[in-house]
Amino acid sequence: MSGDILTVEALRSGYGDEDILKGVSIRVPRGGLVAIIGPNGSGKSTLLKTIYGILGTRAGETVLDLEAAGAKSLTGLRPAAITALGLNMVPQLANVFPEMSVRENLEMGAVPVKGRFKERLVAVLAALPFVEPLLGKRAATLSGGQRQMVAFGRALMSDPSLLILDEPSAGLAPKVQDEIFALIKGINGRGVSILMVEQRARQCLAVSDYGYVLEQGRNRLEGPAQDMLTNPEVVRLYLGARKPPASSNAETRAP
């Protein structure tokens, strides 16, 4: 399989009378892991919410291409319809049902694939074995890291081809953040394409194939993730004080 599973072209979206996204374009290769970084207020989370139908599209288009089913425009669709097509999202907040057990959370995640709960449960527990001991626990009693893993499991129950993640490491201890990034890499290794927004930019790029920088609702930079880690402009503006190697051969480019 080749080509892009997700294409976003000149997307505009926002709240009230204000456009937050002002013509953003991105692509997610089939099987790829793509990072979106940038300063607070740059439109990162707004982009994910618009792709997933939580916010309306004011201009531009989003296309999901699953090859076998053909390319389908997501513009104007609501989240439930988008999930049924093969794209699911793990939001930063309210990503589990706290009063339900972990098993019940996974059952809710399997609603879009009726009749496949047992099959999907086996597959999800194989990918996330640390969730199995938690099945009988109420989600409200879990630690932040455990909740995030259950949120991943709930999303994976729908058997998505593409998973979008909004700030998956937010609010977690550094060790748990590292575990979450390793988990994301593992999910991608099982064939699920991933689009991820993150504030922990260096670690996010380190596990990604390609990266985009948004600034003030527009594309600022893009390129292979490993090149972005050593690109002087990206390091200076977004990655902090760690100095890139003097011999950097970065190919990051402005679109």
On whether both 171 and 148 belong to a single domain, the answer is: no
Residue 248 has pLDDT above 60, yes or no: no
Q: Please write the tens of the pLDDT for every residue from 79-120.
A: 999 999 999 999 988 899 999 999 999 999 999 999 999 999
Whether the predicted pLDDT of 42 surpasses 90: yes
Q: How many domains does the chain have?
A: 2
Q: Are residues 124 and 209 in the same domain?
A: no
Q: How confident is the model at residue 2 (pLDDT cuts 50, 70, 90)?
A: low
Asked which of 139, 159, 179 is the last residue of a domain, the reply is 159
Residues 230 and 193 in one domain: yes
Residue 67 confidence (pLDDT): 75
What are the DSSP calls for the chain, one per residue? Answer: --SEEEEEEEEEEEETTEEEEEEEEEEEETT-EEEEE--TTSSHHHHHHHHTTSS--SEEEEEEE-SSS-EEE-TT--HHHHHHHTEEEE-SSS-S-TTSBHHHHHHHHTGGGTT-HHHHHHHHHHH-GGGGGGTTSBGGGS-HHHHHHHHHHHHHTT--SEEEEESTTTT--HHHHHHHHHHHHHHHHTT-EEEEE-S-HHHHHHT-SEEEEEETTEEEEEEEHHHHTT-HHHIIIII-SPPPPTT-----B--
Instruction: Report the pLDDT averaged over residues 178-191.
Output: 94
For residue range 207-232, what is the model confidence (pLDDT) as tens digits? 999 999 999 999 999 999 999 999 99
25 and 133 together in one domain: no
CATH number for the domain including 167?
A: 3.40.50.300
- Its pTM stands at 0.89
The whole-number pLDDT of residue 241 equals 54
Q: Could you tell me if 154 and 51 lie in one domain?
A: no
Q: What residue numbers bound the domain in which 67 lies?
A: 1-86+161-255
Domain shared by 73 and 9, yes or no = yes
Q: What is the pLDDT confidence band of residue 254, given thresholds at 50, 70 and 90? A: very low
